[in-house]
Structure 1
Amino acid sequence: MNVPVQSERSGHLAGDGAASAENHQVVIIGSGISGIGAAIRLQQSGVRDFVMLERGQDVGGTWRDNRYPGAACDVPGLLYAYSFTRVPTWSASLPSAEEIFGYLRRCVADHGLEDHLHFGSEVTEARWSDEESRWHVVAGGRQYSSRFLIVATGLFSKPKVPDLPGLDSFAGATFHTTEWDLSYDVTGKKVALIGTGASAVQCVPHFAASAQSLDVYQRTPAWVLPRMERRIRPFEWALYQRRPRLRRLVRAVAFHVRESWALCFSGLLHRVVASGVAALARLHLRCRIADRNLRRRLTPSYRLGCKRVLLSNDYYPALRRGNVSLVTDSIARFTPDGVVTEDGVDRPADILVFGTGFTVDRPPIARCIAGRGGKRLSDVWNQGMTAHHNITVPGFPNMFMLLGPNTGTGHTSATLVLEAQLGYILDCLDQMRRHNLSDVDVLPQVQQKFSERLHSRMRRTVWLSGGCSSWYLDARTGRNTTLWPGSVRDYRSEVRSFRLAEYRVRGDGSGVSPASSDGAGHGAGAGRVR
């Protein structure tokens, strides 16, 4: 994939007449599944003047970075693929990370997005100009100007590594799963894997098969269900191509099955439904682990769903291998040669692998974005991430978040939420075009009402009442700022249409009847649209 030719249009950043800036309709930050999806849908709606700023040297985001041994998706591939592009021919119902990465690269090629991509362009500043009604962005030493800003960085961009004594002294190799070196071979090595979350559970069987020894450091056991996966044969894909209705039917069945999983996490009956699923998970554990002591250490004490539910058929069998040890004592410190736990045992290691997840409640990009009055998004989110419909933030006009606050589902594909968000954004752009509006900014009281309603629903979920602490929760406030407290159907209903009445708008007023200004200093036409 070639680095694109830069746009010939130029302008100037406010306050810096000497520095030229590329002018565009839209700047997209990130080229993972949400950024690529946004670019495709913009094209399909007729918007072709956009640029995608990518800090890496390739597209793919999460699926470019997370290609550790065994990395794979845990939702059906038919739901994970975009509904508005060519259907990928996955080799299995739950595709591997390598396949998804390849699919995203093909989407870029199929839709001619190469010329919109700027690699090595990490955004260091994105500042709104109220005078110009434009965003000014600095990335990779270049400057950009745009009417709209789409933040497509997601929440899984900053790896989390525990701050424990002695880590800098360790003499062997050290990796976080999201920074795995594909050329590294663990054969014959003594591996210390810290964490037993989703990434770690996928790594364990692969490390166990070739490492001299594998110590798995578990802080809290996870609920693990069987991974219901099957190979997809070529004739099935050929049949789907000839019979699109059949593919849509299979996809609809997969959608409704996964939607039913939401009953485990929220709603009036979630305790009852989750108890039945927990019984299945306990049976899965009993069938795979005969040793009562090991089984006890692998049995969670919190309710199913409070932490992420994992899918695996080979994790438990891997823990039974003679070269694998499950360590449940807390880590006290690292040494040049290994890991010392609180019980004083020193375990040697050649490599440390951190499957410890990400810092999701304070995304790094928030420090780089300044809205009206120069206020940073990180300051606005100081007491927790929040956004109206999980997309727009008061004081940040013409800015849209994709797969940001409260967009995780816990039960199905993030792509379904993403597509609903993209429809909302396109509806916004269409209404702005028809009404000749320069910018829209969600009203604070509207956002506050949405947030209160969302967190009122959240109180009825297992994530706040299940007896655990998880990465779903904001470390400072204890609020769940990452997941949506309902089904995808619920979310689609929320964002079915863009309501101008919820926003303060500016423009010449064509086709609208603006109310009186909601505040001074925002230009002619500012106010709520009735």
Structure 2
Amino acid sequence: VDSFAGTVIHTARWDHDQDLTGKRVAVIGTGASAVQLIPEIAPIASDLTVFQRTPIWCFPKFDVPLPRLARWAMRLPAVSAVYRLISQAYVEVTFPLPAQYFTVYPLARWMQSVGRSYLRRQVRDPAVREQLTPRYAIGCKRPGFHNTYLSTFNRANVRLVTEPIDKITQEAVATADGANHEIDVLVLATGFKVLDSDAMPTFAVTGSQGLSLARFWDEHRLQAYEGVSVPGFPNMFSVMGPYGYVGSSYFALIEAQTHHILRCLQQARRRHATRVEVTEEANARYFAEMMRRRHRQVFWQDSCRLANSYYFDKNGDVALRPSTTFEAYRRSRRFNLDDYRFTG
């Protein structure tokens, strides 16, 4: 990438001063970030070349304006609660249930048929449609929800390239078939360090025995009691830690894990304790439960090897909680407080 003489932009550090109008643009990647930006770039670029390693399951997004009466009704607590419950149930059906209970419920097959049908309706060219068809089960990697992503590939100025990238020169992206795709702007939609041990958090954390959190996870694999606490790291709580996220709404899970943390703090206050630490036994029990329950997940199906998914860490683990959001919510209110030591 350093050899490219034109403009390089990563989606994590978007340069809003760059005007892509009339430019020859290349996007590397077809993941969640690319799904959002490709339909926005295509209408203004003179040419858009999309380099794809792995296609993404893409579904329509139910995104319509709410009538005035509906907006007013949403102010009522009862109506808002019902709407949120319906919304959460929809989210559960589209990812956690198909992915986390793949071997239990046949939802994944139904979702895949919906995805293929949507793809057929959106993309006219059979060859391009074939290139955009995933070969892995839904849930192996994050799906996309967009109403114009797939149809963008019908545009005359958009090309989809599935040949592996060989190198990037001063003015082009060269692929393994010998083609040189000359461009002015290179957009890297190549993902983020989501599950790296030194990315949760991005700053250094040292435990009571002098061991860093990143090293603890490197040596013991990603793990955290209910996705919140790690033994040896007193008074440290995480939101969306390992095996705390199920793949659905962040908001509901943030609420659940915040309630978990509040229960700990309230108990510490009652006991006049200044130090709260999960026991090694409780953490080991929870981690063993996660390992035992994960056989139901989609991630251990053979087709997931084709997904190139960031869900898999360097140990081959997927640190997603094999449960529903509703279970996580319930357990945040019922976990045994004796799983913690309150001292000081």
Paired letter, 1:471? Y
* Residue aligning to 2:313: 474
- Say whether the 8 Å CA contact 1:459–1:465 is kept in structure 2: no
Q: How does 1:305-320 map to 2 (within 5 A)?
A: 305-320=139-154
Moved more, 200-209 or 228-237: 228-237
Matched, 1:418 2:254: yes
2:102 and 2:167 mapped to 1: Cα distance?
44
Q: CA separation of 1:299/1:351 partners in 2, compared to 1, >3 Å: closer, same or farther?
A: same
Q: How does 1:51-450 map to 2 (within 5 A)?
A: 167-241=1-75, 243-261=76-94, 262-267=96-101, 270=104, 272-362=106-196, 363-364=198-199, 365=201, 368-383=204-219, 384-410=221-247, 412-450=248-286
- Say whether the 8 Å CA contact 1:305–1:466 is kept in structure 2: no
* Residue aligning to 1:99: none
How far off its partner does 1:271 sit?
Answer: 5.8
Paired letter, 1:279? S
Off by >6 Å, runs of 4+ in structure 1: none
Look up the SS of the partner of 1:373 in the other structure.
Answer: coil
- Say whether the 8 Å CA contact 2:271–2:342 is kept in structure 1: no
Paired letter, 2:176? E
- Say whether the 8 Å CA contact 1:190–1:349 is kept in structure 2: yes
The one-character-per-residue Cα deviations of 1:360-386 (angstroms, maximum 9, x if unpaired) are: 222333661101121100110104321
* Residue aligning to 1:92: none
- Say whether the 8 Å CA contact 2:24–2:185 is kept in structure 1: yes
Paired letter, 2:324? S
The one-character-per-residue Cα deviations of 1:20-54 (angstroms, maximum 9, x if unpaired) are: xxxxxxxxxxxxxxxxxxxxxxxxxxxxxxxxxxx
Pick the structure with more strand per residue: 1
2:62 and 2:254 mapped to 1: Cα distance?
24
Greater RCO, 1 or 2 (C-alpha within 8 Å, sep 6+): 2
- Say whether the 8 Å CA contact 1:427–1:497 is kept in structure 2: no
- Say whether the 8 Å CA contact 1:193–1:355 is kept in structure 2: yes
- Say whether the 8 Å CA contact 2:99–2:108 is kept in structure 1: yes
How far off its partner does 1:404 sit?
Answer: 2.2
Aligned identity (percent) is 35
**Structure possessing the higher radius of gyration over alpha carbons:** 1
2:165 and 2:263 mapped to 1: Cα distance?
51
2:37 and 2:68 mapped to 1: Cα distance?
28
How far off its partner does 1:497 sit?
Answer: 3.9
How many positions carry a matched residue from both structures? Answer: 337
Paired letter, 1:435? R
- Say whether the 8 Å CA contact 1:329–1:343 is kept in structure 2: yes
Look up the SS of the partner of 2:36 in the other structure.
Answer: helix
Listed as ranges, the gaps of 5+ residues in structure 1 are 1-166, 508-530
Look up the SS of the partner of 1:332 in the other structure.
Answer: strand
Q: CA separation of 1:355/1:177 partners in 2, compared to 1, >3 Å: closer, same or farther?
A: same
Pick the structure with more helix per residue: 2
How far off its partner does 1:339 sit?
Answer: 0.7
Paired letter, 2:337? L
2:243 and 2:6 mapped to 1: Cα distance?
38
- Say whether the 8 Å CA contact 1:366–1:377 is kept in structure 2: no
Paired letter, 2:321? W
Q: CA separation of 1:272/1:240 partners in 2, compared to 1, >3 Å: closer, same or farther?
A: closer
- Say whether the 8 Å CA contact 1:304–1:466 is kept in structure 2: no
Look up the SS of the partner of 2:283 in the other structure.
Answer: helix
